């Protein structure tokens, strides 16, 4: 496999892995989120949670994965990047790491949203 083919294949494989991570996190948290959404009184909160959670989970992870720059701060040239497989592997690991960070941030954000929704629901 040529280095350029390796770069392209590795990039798309990592993107698929990252999207798989987001779908797995969504499927794992879908039940508890549904339980919380069902406990809320009928209204806009339930609709926001049911529609927003899966979309935001995938978008957070996809944006984190795609935010990794192969050129980096050192301003590497394309030919240097293609010829250095260890650099490509390190960038792939960075993409996966940022995707896992995005899952954590998404769960944290949804925890705050659910706390606000539950608090507002209990007041009415």
pLDDT at site 14: 93
CA distance 124 to 120: 7
pTM over 0.75: yes
Q: What residues does each domain of the chain span?
A: 3-123
Angle, CA 44 vertex, CA 103 and CA 105 arms, to 5°: 15
pLDDT at site 74: 67
Percent of the chain with pLDDT over 90: 40
- Can you list the residues of the chain whose pLDDT is less than 50? none
Report helix, strand or coil for 70.
coil
**DSSP string of 76-119?**
--HHHHHH-HHHHHHHHHHHHHHHHHHHHHHHHHHHHHHHHHHH
């Amino acid at each position: 496999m040529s280095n350029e083919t390796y770069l392209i294949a590795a990039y798309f494989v990592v993107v698929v892995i990252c999207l798989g991570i987001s779908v797995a996190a969504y499927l794992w948290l879908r039940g508890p989120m549904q339980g919380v959404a069902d406990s809320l009184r009928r209204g806009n909160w339930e609709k926001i949670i049911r529609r927003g959670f899966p979309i935001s989970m995938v978008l957070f992870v996809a944006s984190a994965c795609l935010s990794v720059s192969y050129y980096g701060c050192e301003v590497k040239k394309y030919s240097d990047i293609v010829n250095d497989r260890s650099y490509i592997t390190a960038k792939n690991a960075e993409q996966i790491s940022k995707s896992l960070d995005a899952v954590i941030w998404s769960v944290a954000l949804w925890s705050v949203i659910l706390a606000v929704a539950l608090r507002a629901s209990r007041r009415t």
